[in-house]
Structure 1
Amino acid sequence: MGTRRRNASRRARRLRAPVGLVALLLAASSLAGCGTGGSSATSLPSDLAGPATAFLSAYVDPDGRVVRRDQAGDTVSEGQAYAMLVAVGSGDRATFGRVWGWTKQHLQRPDGTLSWRWADGAVVDPASAADADLDAARALVLAGKTFGDLDLLADGLRVGQGVLDVETVETSAGRVLTAGSWAGTEPWAVNPSYVSPVAYALLGEASGDPRWNDLAVGDRAASTRLLTSVALPPDWAQVHADGRVEPVPGAAGRGGQGVRYGYDATRLPLRFAESCAPEDRALAARLVTPLEQSPGSAAERDLGGRPLTADRSVVGLAGEAAALAASGDAAQARDRLAQAATLQQEHPTYFGGAWAALGPAFLTSTVLGGCAPLSPA
């Protein structure tokens, strides 16, 4: 035990953690909610356990690698982070340990962030993706508290510091999150659905680094500017040093399908609706009008809300549920969550399975550190 504490202390010093951090944890001060207002629950309610178990059992290999079985069998940092969130929310320490162990060994970069894609036994794209890094850091901090493990907390702080150092930039709108390590020149590529107010609050409380609050304020300002010019957020955008934010057709401004609200952007209302800040929930709620103007819950829409396909998606339905929940329409929100669960059961996919588990967890449970806009069913 003495060796473990010494190792944790050295790790904390390398991360430039606040002097009182380890003492705070050793004194058993709760990190649940971490200033977000979340409760101290440590596992998902029983009605949410089924989708979580289904995702972990279907897509996590015994060694901890999350396999996109319906997408050529590769692995991405996003999937590893999703599994970590699902596992810590379920109180499944063994699965969490395997998933993080594989991720740390195979994907972690020297700067603390994670390489984006792995296939055929090796990393095939070493660039980072900011959403995966934020979700992984959030999961690690929560796991440190839930499982009483200072090593996991230190790992989470290291990933989080990498996010701040590598994946954020200062603009006149404030500090904003870029899409990843590859988005290093102005105009900076951003993915509006990567913004995670709950992760910022958790990591800010755990680290004491004021840049997390700066990031929360700056990204809220950038998201507000974006939603002042368009009704729905785009999958991809770019931000300028003067704070201008504009939709673009794909990562780095390139994409064959054009500007749209699709499989990426539909996560934005989920991340903002789970926030404890009223301003964030208000941003999620303002999406109800464009989403509700056309029935059918299309998986992809133009930025005014017009459907671009007859297809539906689990994450699209969960995103609608989030916007409705943030607006106070609990009945319709629950209906969309039920539709999402049915769709995943009828047409199971890796991405759908992740959000069939995480969507209800964000919206109806505080176990992942947010303020659920819906009470448990």
Structure 2
Amino acid sequence: MASRRGAMLLVVAALGFQAVTMSACAAPTPGNWADYKTRFLQADGRVVDTGNGNVSHSEGQGFAMIMATAYDDPATFKKMWTWTDKTLSRPDTRLFKWRYIPTGDLHTPDPNNALDGDMLIAWALLRGGERWKRPEYLEASAQIRSAILSKLLVKQGNRTLLVPGVDGFVNAQGMIFNPSYAIMPALDAFAAREPKSPWPMVRDETLRALRDARFGATDLPVDWVKVDTAGAMWTDPDRPPRFGFDAIRVPLYMCWSGRCGDASLDPVKRWWTSFRAAGKPAPAWIDVRTGEVAPFAAPVGMVSVADLALTGKASSARIQNEDYYSSSLLILSQIAADERREKTKSAAKPKPKS
């Protein structure tokens, strides 16, 4: 699959290397969901990537479906799921084509799936099914989870991991692992739902891989990782070795799952803190091999993920003029902070005496 963030680089670059000032808050910003629907959601349920030629992704459908469960919006959820199921479902397996192109006669020319989209959709259906008591959503989630395990689970040496897609990510030299597709709160939910299935093992193996897949002098995660046949991990030689627009989701998902204190995030926190201590905005990406950084600052959504990792609180910013991806990161980080806070409060309540 091609990078989904390429067009976003041009948009952010045009804004220049400017600081983004954030104030933290403890709860999601409700107006952001209304604005998100107005700006990125079409009447038929398609979520539009405004920074990338107005295409749609299984990822974006999953992002927005997760948002709908958090904001208790079953009508919008149903509309998005209906479009996704009708338009992106593959005929050969219960997975989803990764990209929809609005122009031309053939809207989904690449039949390959994307693990993150599949997992987000399955997780959203599980959340929605549980919240709104919809057994058909729970069944669809179970079918997708089964297909993920059947089609995407690969063993290399001492590692068993999920590959990014059915086609093109495994060869005689090894496999590709995308750390940003490691949606830890989803893996926790799948493992809790099916404790006797492979999901607990997949969750644990994925967490081990995230802890190992750090590179360069900065010891940061990168967007794409090569896993050789012995299980050793390397930066993918076919892609820039960057901590950037994809790998930003590693701290997002780790913190969302309650693992913000995991030692594997310490290098990320140090890197972000170094810029804040100097009164400078962090760049949008760094090449972990050369140390080269982006000539423009991280956008609002990425800064909010940094806030979440460093303080446990996401930004209170509104999405305003941010594009689809930055807006998605902003809202998801706000939801993550709120859900982690509520879970912590619930755990702290005294249990009734028996």
- Range class of TM-score, shorter chain: 0.7 to 0.9
1:308-319 matched pairs, under 5 angstroms: 308-319=294-305
Contact 1:286 1:323 in 2 (8 A): no
The match for 2:58 among 65, 74, 77 is 77
| Length-normalised TM-score, structure 1 | 0.75
SS at match of 1:246: strand
What is the aligned partner in structure 2 of residue 254 from structure 1? 238
What is the aligned partner in structure 1 of residue 19 from structure 2? none
What is the aligned partner in structure 1 of residue 251 from structure 2? 269
What is the aligned partner in structure 1 of residue 30 from structure 2? 49
Q: Does 1:95 align with 2:111?
A: no
**Partners of 1:352 and 1:97 in 2: CA distance:** 24
Contact 2:305 2:330 in 1 (8 A): no
User: 295-304 vs 78-87, which deviates more?
Assistant: 295-304
What is the aligned partner in structure 2 of residue 212 from structure 1? 199
What is the aligned partner in structure 2 of residue 363 from structure 1? 337
1:1-377 matched pairs, under 5 angstroms: 47-109=28-90, 110-119=92-101, 120=103, 122-182=107-167, 183-185=169-171, 186-227=173-214, 231-248=219-236, 253-255=237-239, 258-276=240-258, 281-294=262-275, 295-303=280-288, 307-325=293-311, 330=312, 333-334=313-314, 337-338=315-316, 341=317, 344-345=319-320, 347-366=321-340
What CA deviation, in whole Å up to 9, does each residue of 1:102-150 have, x standing for no partner?
Answer: 1011111231111001113621221111111111111000011111000
**Partners of 1:173 and 1:222 in 2: CA distance:** 11
**Partners of 1:283 and 1:291 in 2: CA distance:** 14
**CA distance 1:137–1:176, shift in 2 (3 Å):** same
SS at match of 2:111: strand
What is the aligned partner in structure 2 of residue 25 from structure 1? none
Q: Runs of at least 4 residues of structure 1 off by over 6 A? A: 369-372
User: 157-166 vs 309-318, which deviates more?
Assistant: 309-318
What is the aligned partner in structure 2 of residue 7 from structure 1? none
**Partners of 1:318 and 1:178 in 2: CA distance:** 28
Q: Kindly state the Cα deviation for residue 371 of structure 1 after the two structures are TM-superposed.
A: 6.5
SS at match of 1:365: helix
Contact 1:269 1:323 in 2 (8 A): yes
**CA distance 1:353–1:151, shift in 2 (3 Å):** same
**Partners of 1:46 and 1:94 in 2: CA distance:** 23
Q: Given residue 254 of structure 1, which amino acid in structure 2 is its aligned partner?
A: D
Q: Kindly state the Cα deviation for residue 348 of structure 1 after the two structures are TM-superposed.
A: 2.0
Equivalenced residue count is: 309
Amino-acid identity (%): 23
**Partners of 1:184 and 1:370 in 2: CA distance:** 38
**CA distance 1:209–1:80, shift in 2 (3 Å):** farther
SS at match of 1:205: helix
Contact 2:226 2:234 in 1 (8 A): yes
Q: Which has the higher contact order (CA 8 A, sep 6+)?
A: 2
**Partners of 2:234 and 2:246 in 1: CA distance:** 16
Q: Kindly state the Cα deviation for residue 91 of structure 1 after the two structures are TM-superposed.
A: 0.7
